[in-house]
Structure 1
Amino acid sequence: LIVIYECMLIPSWDIWMFGTCVFPEPTQVRLVNGSSRCSGRIEVHHNQRWGTVCDDGWDLADAEVVCRQLGCGTAVSAPGKAMFGQGHDPVWLDEVNCMGTEGAITECNLKRWGDHNCKHDEDASVVCSDPTELRLVNGPNRCAGRVEVLHHEQWGTVCDNDWGMKHAKVVCRQLGCGAPIYAPGWARFGRGYDPIWLEKVTCSGTESALSECTVQSWGQHSCHHGEDASVVCTDPTEVRLVNGSNHCSGRVEVLHNQRWGSVCDDGWDLNDAEVVCRQLGCGTAIWAPSAARFGQGYEPIWLDDVNCTGSEAALSECRARPWGVSNCNHKEDAGVVCIGIFFLNGIIHYSN
């Protein structure tokens, strides 16, 4: 079978080989000269050098993608004219045009790397809503426990007044955990000893971080530590891809009972692969190979009949048989190939 893809073929990119098709890795992005890691001049990494982005056409939709890629909440502004100072390295990107829904800036329409008509006084910037640092403590894993937030370089608790599942949904989402199960109050995971930072937090449940919810002034409350709020989320299954060209391609393996094992290819499709790529931060899925395309595993077959819609944040949110229940052998091990960019013209062929 000959499969034809349109590939981004730019020899100077950081690239990896799959068959005879060449794909770049997802591009690293950072914000510099701002007040936090979530604001500043945008810089992208290419050819082992950081460089800037020109502000031609730069807008809030472009900034939204950068904020999402950095895990920095929503975009507040997209200033140009070197608002956070001029860069000194190459201007790598110009005329970036995002819809705002992309998972990485390299999935947007843009000129070829280094092709621009700009100077550094046109460097683009981004300001995102910096999510409050958050953790769950005293629980059985990182996705369950007493809610603590960081303020003035000190961790403190959240009062359980009006605390509920909408709040838990936001906390679980911000921590990269699975779905919320429970939002207990009354210090279910023990009393804290540090300040009570927040009370009467109001969330709709759609926010990407607790900092996007409505809160009273920090430190103002009428609570005691016997009212500390908690959250219990499902803990996403750890996932890895092995035997591929890099961490974004290979045989799917999941961790269960402290052992890595494979996934059966029964019903395995691009929706399932999309979830794996998202969970690994590897952009979008381009292939969901079956029949042990990346070699046979030797450990347990942990999952079978996986059925994702493609919108889940982790494989653990998808429907599947109970752990370890399968009618498969390792000749049916499932694989995934992800890519973090869009395709351009230039036809490449590879065989399967």
Structure 2
Amino acid sequence: MDQFERLNQLPLRDDLRGLRPYGAPQLDVPILLNVNENTFGVPLDAKEAILKAVADELDGLNRYPDREFTELRRALAAYLGHGLNEDNMWAANGSNEVLQQLLQAFGGPGRSLMSFPPTYSMYPLLASGTGTGYIEGFRDEDYNLSAESAAEQVRSKSPNIVFLCSPNNPTGTALGLDIVEAVYEAGEASRTIVIVDEAYAEFAHSGTRSALLLLPNRPRLIVSRTMSKAFAMAGARVGYLAAAPEITDAVRLVRLPYHLSAITQATAVAALRNSDALLANVEAIKVQRDRIVNELIRMGLAPAPSDSNFVFFGGLEDPAGVWEALLAAGILIRDVGIAGHLRVTAGTEAETTAFLQALEAILDGVH
């Protein structure tokens, strides 16, 4: 009997029986381009500031941290701007915990969450973990989502919560604000909470507008962000949201006490105070992302327009075979389980060159 079978011998909740934990492959290869990390790492000056901030907390580790993480909320509001203040902000251990807390507050048994696959694969798992029903919306054949279609689906299903991922993962394309507005209005009768997951917002093309612009006078609208991607802090686990103050009060009802450690708070505040240094590599990543798009088109493949730090591309007859061949070449990208498609993170110039050269050699070998 293997470990998975032993798990299912336990008296699990019925809706968890047979499920497997979420997770991308974690393999030890030279070039890791599979989970949309910022491969540039933390710059030296920001690293030194974080180390000092953490060291300053060490003498007080015998005490609980600031339960309200007030300094961090102020720093997050200052970073986002848009007239936000500390009362509009909330943070947790990665944006996944932010979304989980929102589902604990507004979802649960007898309530429902809608999202529009293909999108972030954690959404149905978060629904399952909180006992929230999951409604699978749909997109067009080209994976785009129109305001009219999204609004009609929300009106017809009346979900309690809607997740809109923008830029979308795994396709990488940002949503127009008309879609967010249409979904919000469509959920008026059902008082639907609308959560716009902007984990990759800093990588969007110039002129792409954030849903932060729509927050005033929309108490059911929430914008979720993360410091994992643009800030190169995936290991620190810091996610946050911006919303009306009553939303943060709702989340306080379900959060665990002292859920953000003093070390996490100090790290995040120091990073935000050094945001210019930490975000300096964002433009370099965008250059490599656009380079990948252009080169894939030249190779005869079909990349989706990307506002994120990754590229979703189709036109592959054997994506699993290409994935395996790249892995054999020491390059790990992501098979997201969509026919004919793979996804690759935009890394450094050297990592991007290695990926493109290996992929072209593989395709030439196939042909």
Which has more helix, going by share of residues?
Answer: 2
Which has more strand, going by share of residues?
Answer: 1
TM-score by length of 2: 0.22
Higher-Rg member (1/2)? 1
- Pick 1 or 2: higher relative contact order, CA cutoff 8 A, min separation 6: 2
